[in-house]
Amino acid sequence: MAKYFDVHPENPQRRAIGNVADSLRAGALIAYPTDSCFALGCQLGNKDGIDRIRSIRDLDDRHHFTLMCENFAQLGRFVHVDNDVFRAVKASTPGAYTFILRATSEVPRRLMHPKKKTVGVRIPDHVVTQALLAELGEPLLSSTLLLPGEEEPMTQGWEIKERLDHVVDAVVDSGDCGTRPTTVIDFSGGEAEIVRYGAGDTTRFE
């Protein structure tokens, strides 16, 4: 049965955030809110958590996982960002964008695209997510909480708890966070390629 954390959306309780971070360090898979929609998340080295995300979402090995990063300095440890890309990414973060970039050696190989050696990264503009990332001290391996055969992600924490009670270890609820996933921009080829239109404005990338 999943633990349920009711977290204030503007002033997250430190104890609750600390408990969620401790759960992640102990190998938990969580459902948590972001500035676009709910996501599934676990630590980078949590192989069981990664396998469970693939199972819940019915994903193949070509799926790009996302590293949810606290800030740009942290993001820069895990992906290669040249000057032109740096300016574009910096101008769009924090926000509802996921950027696909070439991964550094800090990223476990099983998280990369098998051929391109790329990974998704993003910096969320969400108080609760930022508090959790600050407490954890490392990126959160994430994937949009969109179940197979469904067109929109779930938006209510209580519904997620009800439906995924036996497949996730914790649900973090801070209220409705929307149904539109991030806009995905692929910079791995040097030029911006819009892979998915979502919550983030694409004007500067077109």
76-101 pLDDT, tens digit each: 999 999 888 889 899 999 999 999 99
Q: Quote the mean pLDDT of the chain.
A: 94
Determine the pLDDT at residue 190: 83
Determine the pLDDT at residue 178: 79
Dihedral over alpha carbons 75, 79, 84, 85 (to 10 degrees): -70
Q: Can you tell me the mean pLDDT for 165-192?
A: 92
Phi (first) and psi of residue 171, to 5 degrees? -125, 125
The boundaries of the domain holding residue 149 are: 3-205
User: What would the pLDDT profile of 120-139 be if each residue is shown by its tens digit?
Assistant: 999 999 999 999 999 999 99
**pLDDT band for position 105 (50/70/90)?**
very high
Determine the pLDDT at residue 133: 98
Of 49-53, 57-61, 90-94, 152-156, give the lowest mean pLDDT range.
152-156
- Number of domains the chain contains: 1
Determine the pLDDT at residue 63: 85
Share of the chain above pLDDT 90, in %: 79
Which CATH number do you get for residue 72?
3.90.870.10
Determine the pLDDT at residue 155: 82
